[in-house]
Amino acid sequence: MKSRRLAVVIFSLLTLRAPAVLAFDHQYRLWKEALSPVVTAEIVDYRALQVTSGKLREFIQELEKVTTPDYASWSGEQKMVFWTNAYNAAVIQRIL
């Protein structure tokens, strides 16, 4: 009985997630890393972005990991920034 209880406790600890407020990168580092080498004077070099599109894919995968409960815990400003960046990333991905 003790070993079963211990197994349940260990499983619970291993499957707990930190809230997205802490886990999600609201500084958007991957997004900045994807764009900084290819954007100058608000102009995107799409050819260069195609070469380095791995960071863009990583960023979109990060967006896809956000759960409904995590999203619900964000401030209104965090939600607005999330959707603005998600939209911009989707448009750039479509262009590529």
Region of residue 65 (phi > 0: left; psi between -120 and 50: alpha; otherwise: beta): alpha
User: Is the predicted pLDDT of residue 75 greater than 90, yes or no?
Assistant: yes
- How far apart CA 6 and CA 84 sit, in angstroms, is 44
78 or 38: which leads in pLDDT: 78
For residue 26, give the 3-state DSSP assignment: coil
pLDDT at 37: 86
pLDDT (tens digit per residue) in 4-60 = 554 444 444 444 444 444 578 888 988 888 888 888 887 888 888 888 778 888 999
pLDDT at 4: 53
3-state helix, strand, coil in the chain (%, to 5): 70, 5, 25
15 or 63: which leads in pLDDT: 63
Using CA atoms in the order 69, 30, 25, 78, what is the torsion angle rounded to 10 degrees?
A: -70
**pTM (2 decimals)?**
0.69
Going from N- to C-terminal start, the domains of the chain cover 19-95
Average pLDDT over residues 53-72: 89
pLDDT at 2: 52
